[in-house]
Chains A and B, each alone.
Chain A
């Protein structure tokens, strides 16, 4: 039917402009960012604050330019922590979500503790983590996983619970076992919800990496962007701290949209078709 017909002419023409179209879609965000940067620049240039308290954007940019090597090396470390940590959190959160869905006993046992775990101040356990695992990446991963797994658990459990009961009845009359109902019906249905959780996890994962680097000691020349920010603040090198924060800022955005791309591949059926108002 209509979906299999060749696209109409205007659609093909539109395809040619798809790239320009994408750029145009980014325009509002770019304009807003520019406006905010302009306001910031004006605020500082009018002499409202010293650059130790708040450096102007042009200072930050210059600092970023001259410290590109340092920032890149620290970003690499932090990106590894975030990537690995969020990935672990996704796996752990999804598996835990499925187990909680399958076992009411486990739900009663684990769910309250998982909620409570989100209230544990990381600084409190930082010393212990270092005592256990030293100065390497392991304590940081633990902190990131601790911060990120929770949204994945919650969205996965909700996604699994939202499966149409009639769908499960149908699968039963088709002869499906509990395991097959999970495999053919529930797990795929829960993927979009779990991916929403993953998006939240990724966004908080970046600040999680900062918290992790702050609360667990680190050694070595490069210790991650979070560690660098803290060191620069203490050394009154505020512009460089801002430059590092700007890198984190862009990194978080890049992560988020990379995951959005992954969603199109992993759950193409869940792409929303929106009713459009003229």
Chain B
């Protein structure tokens, strides 16, 4: 498949396709205390976005420093999801976060997307868009209308949004399914539509929450290859959360390993391997060993809150 999204003849004006925030750097800052000041405005104007980017003096799309977050569950007991997490992702890089179930990975993404505020620490990120674990396609919209949802929200007319969305369907192997309803699509296709919806938001930072975990093994591998190709052709900053260590290594530039709840970073691996990578490459397997060891050690120290960072 050819992947020059947005640079196809049908879309002679790529900046339009990707929205003006493309590769942009609208930085938002969130500081301590959830009762504190109002969260900074999202959806900054173009000028304001440029100013923010200038002020930030940073090549990082994601800067988390000593971030902690707790929430109350339904019964009212407080759950410490994250304890002192620091993570940085340079613009244009792919950062994977792996960890056992319930280690606060989803909370991490929600903090980055501004859906929640940290209890402590700072979160500074480019404007981020979330691709949730479930595809969450709207059942009453056709595939193309789902993909182009962000364009509608940004004010495009239905016809214009459809045209811009449909232009990418062929590249994602979805042509002919523009008018299909989500329930008529296979799991892999739904996931691709959801990914397209994420891309078309035009935000510079993509947060993918277990994007492939709902798929069967074969579709999953196809999607991994597809995603690798996509990111090779059109680098974006990507935060990908997964519990699949191999997937993280195949896709990412760096892999952060979280401990069980409360989540903290117990190891960070740099994956300096050329793409595309295979799950069976010996280097991938070696890194996998390293990551698995870190996961196990993280699990064993998970109960003693202060020892986590020493493993980095």
Contact A175 B138 (CB under 8 A): no
Which chain B residue lies CB-closest to A169?
Answer: B115
Contact B153 A180 (CB under 8 A): yes
Complex Cα gap A164–B203 (Å): 23
Contact B140 A267 (CB under 8 A): yes
Contact A167 B136 (CB under 8 A): yes
Complex Cα gap A169–B207 (Å): 13
Complex Cα gap A181–B132 (Å): 16
Q: A166-179: contact bitstring with B at CB < 8 Å (1 yes, 0 no)?
A: 11011111111000
**B contact residues around A188 at 8 Å (CB):** 138, 140
* Count of A-B residue pairs with CB < 8 Å: 68
User: Does A83 sit at the interface, judged by CB under 8 A?
Assistant: no
Complex Cα gap A84–B140 (Å): 28
Q: A174-B153, A184-B152 are in contact. Are A269 and B43 (CB under 8 A)?
A: no
Complex Cα gap A176–B183 (Å): 24
Q: Out of B129, B138, B176, name the residue touching A173 (CB < 8 Å).
A: B129
Contact B136 A175 (CB under 8 A): no
Complex Cα gap A232–B136 (Å): 58
Q: A176-B153, A184-B152, A188-B140 are in contact. Are A169 and B132 (CB under 8 A)?
A: yes
Within 8 A of B (CB), among A248-273: 267, 269-270, 273
User: Does B191 sit at the interface, judged by CB under 8 A?
Assistant: no
User: Does A185 sit at the interface, judged by CB under 8 A?
Assistant: yes
User: Does A234 sit at the interface, judged by CB under 8 A?
Assistant: no
- B173, chain A: closest CB distance, angstroms: 12
- Determine chain B's interface SS by DSSP, over half rule: loop
User: Does A1 sit at the interface, judged by CB under 8 A?
Assistant: yes
**B contact residues around A270 at 8 Å (CB):** 139
Complex Cα gap A164–B135 (Å): 12
Q: A3-B184, A174-B149, A180-B153 are in contact. Are A166 and B201 (CB under 8 A)?
A: no
**A contact residues around B113 at 8 Å (CB):** 169, 172-173
**A contact residues around B189 at 8 Å (CB):** 1
Q: A187-199: contact bitstring with B at CB < 8 Å (1 yes, 0 no)?
A: 0110100000000
Q: A3-B184, A185-B138 are in contact. Are A175 and B110 (CB under 8 A)?
A: no
**A contact residues around B186 at 8 Å (CB):** 1
User: Does A4 sit at the interface, judged by CB under 8 A?
Assistant: yes
User: Does B181 sit at the interface, judged by CB under 8 A?
Assistant: yes
Contact B138 A166 (CB under 8 A): no
**A contact residues around B203 at 8 Å (CB):** 173, 175
Q: B177-203: contact bitstring with A at CB < 8 Å (1 yes, 0 no)?
A: 100110111100100000001000101
Contact B176 A175 (CB under 8 A): no
Contact B140 A269 (CB under 8 A): yes
Which chain A residue lies CB-closest to B43?
Answer: A175
Q: A3-B184, A174-B153, A175-B43 are in contact. Are A169 and B201 (CB under 8 A)?
A: no
Which chain B residue lies CB-closest to A4?
Answer: B176
**B contact residues around A273 at 8 Å (CB):** 183
**A contact residues around B64 at 8 Å (CB):** none
- A173, chain B: closest CB distance, angstroms: 4
**A contact residues around B114 at 8 Å (CB):** 173
User: Does B251 sit at the interface, judged by CB under 8 A?
Assistant: no
Q: A166-B132, A166-B136 are in contact. Are A172 and B197 (CB under 8 A)?
A: no
**B contact residues around A170 at 8 Å (CB):** 130, 132, 136
User: Does B154 sit at the interface, judged by CB under 8 A?
Assistant: yes
**A contact residues around B43 at 8 Å (CB):** 175
User: Does B128 sit at the interface, judged by CB under 8 A?
Assistant: yes
Complex Cα gap A96–B189 (Å): 39
Within 8 A of B (CB), among A113-163: none
Complex Cα gap A176–B130 (Å): 13
Contact A175 B140 (CB under 8 A): no
Which chain A residue lies CB-closest to B179?
Answer: A4
Q: A184-B152, A188-B138 are in contact. Are A174 and B115 (CB under 8 A)?
A: no
- A165, chain B: closest CB distance, angstroms: 10
User: Does B150 sit at the interface, judged by CB under 8 A?
Assistant: yes
4 nearest A-B pairs in the assembled complex, by CB-CB distance: A173-B130, A3-B184, A269-B139, A174-B150
